[in-house]
Amino acid sequence: MPLSRIAPSSTLTNVRYEIRGPLAKRALEMEKAGAEIIKLNIGNPGIFGFKAPETMRQAVIENLEQADAYSHQKGIFPAREAVVMQQQSRGVMDVTADDVFMGNGCSELIIAALRGLLSPGDEVLVPSPDYPLWTAAANLAGGTAVHYPCPEADGFMPDTAAVAALVTPRTKALVVINPNNPTGAVYSKAVLTRLADIAEQHGLVVFSDEIYDQITYDGAEFTPMATLVRKTLCGTFGGLSKVYRACGWRVGWLSFSGPKDHARDYLQALDLLSALRLCSNVPGQWAVQTALGGHQSILELTRPGGRLYETRRALIAGLKASTYLDGVIPNGALYAFLRVKTECLGAAGATFDDQQFALDLLEKYKVLVTPGRGFNVPYKDHFRITLLPDDRAMAEVFRRIEKLLAGYAAGVA
């Protein structure tokens, strides 16, 4: 008797993560066959030669004897207290160690934060373009991600009037990603203040994804959302993955500020979810205090002469020289969200598709990017790349993209 088909859970129906989707799987197949792929699909510093600071490695080594046992479900006290001290240094004074949850990266905490909050039919406001885990996490929790526009014409800043218009009685939370993934936008204080006002007016929980908080360029100023949200609950996400180049350590945190008495049941639910997974990676947590309290080496990479800065400079030069590409220059994070000027592709422009473009770029030119629709946008002419390769590799990427698009325009691709 044949076995019945095993169907996946219906909760996965609208869950997508193109960053590690079919294109990434195809790239792996090509690598196994001997191809050398330039991977620009994921912000993974380690594969581009970036290393976590030595002082953090030493902190883990020196505390390994204390890392064999489970920790408290919220995390070890020194790590949580280090997050408190960072928040206080930024002017957020109403956070205690009991308000901090350590997680296996921010990803685990994002899923838990929405699972603990949303019931079927509840809505959460998420930017478009977004980091797709936020939309996926809302769906997994049985809720609905309602996307608010961040127009390219405005530098990918949130349209605050649209945000206000999208609030309904079902809306439970507002997500802010700043500095932004995938666009590299660093939100102005005025925009953030207006978003805080909207959340406070409607009693929404604010979730501020600040994993790239110290990665800014050319004087762009990062404003912590918790410094602006005073009359409603604000959850701030951070971690070691990006600023400290320690993705594989899987260490993130979520700290809550603002009024909490009305959120006591919700915070208890997060404590329950934390207990169910026992605890997060203990060895990595011992690096948090050293990371947040020590020399911030990321600044050496983001200033002129630093590797990230120079790669960004190569991206700017590539855009300036390109016939077929346009884009907003990223002021923060590790990405650029670029537009193909379909109007320059002749007849091919009418049928241009970001997913087919990304597949052609991979198959013909060995460059892996993520199609724009993977970031929950309604248009089909964008793609995301990372700023992690060096400046020479970035120049080579632009050369290959230009060659592919020139072929499209000539009708020979």
Whole-number pLDDT of residue 2: 87
CB atoms within 10 A of CB 112: 22
Q: Residues 284, 376: one domain?
A: no
3-class state of residue 339 by DSSP? strand
* pLDDT (0 to 100) of residue 205: 98
Could you tell me if 32 and 75 lie in one domain? no
Pair (106, 228) in one structural domain:
yes
DSSP per residue over 162-175, as a string? HHHHH--TTEEEEE
Q: What pLDDT score was predicted for residue 391?
A: 97
Lowest-confidence region among 14-23, 228-237, 275-284: 14-23
221 occurs within a structural domain: yes
* Selection from 338, 349, 328, 327 nearest residue 405 by Cα: 349
Identify whether residues 210 and 97 lie together within a single domain. yes
Residue that is last in its domain, among 293, 320, 352: 293
- Shared domain check, 317 and 393: yes
- Residues 234, 120: one domain? yes
Compute how many other C-beta atoms are within 10 angstroms of the C-beta atom of residue 61.
12
When pLDDT is averaged across residues 253-270 and rounded to a whole number, the result is 97
Question: Is there a contact between 60 and 291 (Cβ–Cβ < 8 Å)?
Answer: no
Give the mean model confidence (pLDDT) for residues 213-226.
97
What is the average pLDDT value for the chain, to the nearest integer? 96
| Per-residue confidence (pLDDT) for residue 412, from 0 to 100 | 78
pLDDT confidence of residue 294: 84
Is residue 6 included in any domain, yes or no? no
Q: How far apart are CA 312 and CA 330, in angstroms?
A: 8
For the record, the structure tokens of 155 come out as 């530098």
The pLDDT assigned to 17 comes to 84
Report, as an integer, the average pLDDT of 14-37: 92
Looking at the structure, do residues 101 and 179 belong to the same domain, yes or no? Answer: yes
Of all residues in the chain, the percent with pLDDT exceeding 90 is 94
How much is the pLDDT for 1?
80
pTM as predicted: 0.95
Is 248:45 a contact under the CB 8 Å cutoff? Answer: no
Tens-digit pLDDT profile for residues 145-183 = 999 999 999 999 999 999 999 999 999 999 999 999 999
- ∠ at Cα 143 (141, 145), nearest 5°? 115
Residue 149: the pLDDT is: 98
Place of tokens 């939309």: 135
From first CA to last CA, the distance across the chain in angstroms is 49
> What is the reported pLDDT for 413?
61
Continuous segment of H or E residues that includes residue 355: helix 354-365
Q: Distance (Å, rounded) from C-alpha 344 to C-alpha 405?
A: 9
Let me know whether 285 and 323 are in one domain. no
Supply the angle between the helices 391-410 and 354-365 in degrees, to the nearest 10: 110
Q: Which of 293, 322, 353 is the last residue of a domain?
A: 293
Domain-embedded: residue 186: yes
Q: Could you tell me whether strands 205-209 and 171-177 are parallel, antiparallel, or unpaired per DSSP bridges?
A: parallel
- pLDDT reported for residue 10: 86
CATH number at residue 342: 3.90.1150.10
**Mean predicted confidence (pLDDT) in 75-104:** 97
Structurally, how many domains does the chain consist of? 2
| Same domain for 281 and 309 | no
Say yes or no to pLDDT of 227 above 70.
yes
CATH number at 113 reads: 3.40.640.10
| Claim to verify: residue 261 and residue 282 sit in the same structural domain | yes
Task: Reply yes or no on whether the pLDDT at 15 is more than 70.
Answer: yes
Virtual torsion, Cα 295, 299, 300, 302, nearest 10 deg: 160
Residue 128 belongs to a domain: yes
User: In the prediction, which pLDDT does 19 show?
Assistant: 83
| 293-348 residue pLDDT tens | 988 999 999 999 999 999 999 999 999 999 999 999 999 999 999 999 999 999 99
| Structure-block tokens of residue 128 | 């478009």
Examine the fold and report which residue of 293, 315, 350 is the final residue of a domain before the chain moves on.
293
Report if residue 299 sits inside a domain: no
3 belongs to a structural domain? no
CB 235 within 8 A of CB 210: no
**Are residues 398 and 310 located together in one domain of the fold?**
yes
User: For the residues 281-295, what does the mean pLDDT come to?
Assistant: 95
Please report whether residue 8 resides in a domain: no
pLDDT at 411 over 90: no
Q: Range of 334's domain?
A: 14-43+304-410
pLDDT at 254: 98
Q: Are residues 268 and 350 in the same domain?
A: no
Q: Give domain status of residue 270, yes or no.
A: yes
